[in-house]
Structure 1
Amino acid sequence: MMRAACFVLLCALISTSSQARSSIKTPLPNPDFKIDSANHQNEGTCSFTVRLVTSCSSVSYTRDQISISFGDAYGNQVYAPRLDDPSTRTFERCSADTFEVYGPCTNQICYVYLYRSGYDGWLPERVEVYGYNTKAVSFDYNDWIPAEMWYGFDYCSPYAVDDDVVHSSKAAMK
C-alpha cells in the first residue's frame, strides 16, 4: 500500500514538473502577422495604456523605431505605428515608458507583438496593456527584439467563444 502511494505521488510530481516546463512561453517571431488596415470598426473609440519596461541588460537607449500591435481573439486589433521618440530618450536601459494608445474596443487582449526597425537593438523586459473593458495583461519578453519582424506572443484560441475561455486558455498556457 505504501509503495503504491509513493508511486502515485512520484507520477504526479513528474507530470506536474513536465507540464510546468512545457507551458513556459517565450516570444516568437510571426512572419505571417499583418496589420489589419481594413478593421476600422470602433477605430479610435477606446483608450489603452501600454507600459513597456526596458531591461537593465538593454543598450543604454535606442534610436530604433518601435511599433506595437495587440488584440483579442475576435479580430479586434490595436496598432501604434511608432512609440519611440529619440529626442526624449524613450526606451532607456532600466526604465519604464507609458503610452496612451487609441484603437478599436477589444474583448480580453490575448496577443501582443512588437516591431523594431533600426540598428541599435532593444531588450524589453515586459509589456503591460491596460484597457477599459479588459483585464490588465502582462507579457514577459526578456529577449532582444529582432529587426524588421513582428515578435511576440499569441495566446488567442481559435476555439474561444467568450472572454472566460480566452482567459482560461491563456492561464493554461502559462
Structure 2
Amino acid sequence: MAIAVSSLLLLASFFLVLSGAQSSVLLQQPHALPSFNLSYIQKLGSCSYNVVITTSCSSPSYTRDQISIAFGDAYGNQIYAPRLDDPSTRTFEGCSSDTFEITGPCAYQICYAYFYRSGPDGWKPDSVQIYGYNSKAVTFYYRTFIPGETWYGFNLCNSAASSSGQPKYRFFMYVVYGFLISAFLNVL
C-alpha cells in the first residue's frame, strides 16, 4: 500500500512539473519596446539568415506599410533589416508567407525578434521563423496587429536561459521529494 501511494505521489509531481513547463511557454506575448537601440548593432562577421514571415489571414489583404525587423541573441549580436516591404511584389499579403535572406553579424541562438511598422494600413503577422548558421531554428508567434511607430515583439533571452534550467531543477526537487515521502511511508 505504501509503495502504491508513494508511486502515485511521484507520478503526480512529474505531471505537475510537465504542466508547469508547458504553461510558461503559452504565456509569452509580444510587447512594445519603445527604447530599442539599433546603434548597438555589432559588425562582427557576416552570416546569412533565412527569415520566413507568415502574415495572418485576418490581416488586411495587402499593406503599403513600411516594415522592418531586428533580431538577435543574448550576447548583443543584432541583425537589422530596414524595409522588408515591397508593395509591388505583394509582400505581406494576408494568408501568405514571405521568405527573406538577411545578412548580418554572426549570432548564436536567436532569442529576440521585433518588428517596426510605419504606415496607414496595418499589418498582422502570424509568425516569424528565423534560421541561422550558429543557432537552431526559432519561431515567434505574434498573432496580433503590430502597433505603428514602435518596436514590437519578443525578448526571450533572459527567460529562455532561466526557463531552460528551471524545469530540470524543479523536476529534480520533485523526484527527491517523492523519494523522501516514499522512504517515510515505508518506515511506517
Sort the TM-score into its range (normalised by shorter chain): 0.7 to 0.9
Task: Give the structure 2 partner of residue 109 of structure 1.
Answer: 110
The structure that is helix-richer by fraction is 2
Tell me by how many angstroms 1:6 deviates: 5.8
Aligned length: 164
Counterpart secondary structure, 1:23: helix
Q: CA RMSD in A?
A: 2.8
Task: Give the structure 2 partner of residue 123 of structure 1.
Answer: 124
Tell me by how many angstroms 1:23 deviates: 3.4
1:61 and 2:62 are equivalent in the alignment: yes
TM superposition score normalised by structure 1: 0.80
Could you list the runs of 5+ residues in structure 2 that have no partner in the other structure? 169-188
Counterpart-to-counterpart distance in 2, 1:80 and 1:136: 18
Counterpart-to-counterpart distance in 1, 2:93 and 2:157: 31
Q: Deviations over 1:33-70 (max 9, x none)?
A: 221x2534226x21111110001111101110000000
- Larger of the two Rg values belongs to structure: 2
Compared CA separation, residues 126 and 8, structure 1 to 2 (3 A)? same
Task: Give the structure 2 partner of residue 27 of structure 1.
Answer: 30
Compared CA separation, residues 114 and 19, structure 1 to 2 (3 A)? same
Counterpart-to-counterpart distance in 1, 2:33 and 2:61: 27
Q: CA contact under 8 A between 2:40 and 2:78: conserved in structure 1?
A: no
Counterpart secondary structure, 1:157: helix
TM superposition score normalised by structure 2: 0.75
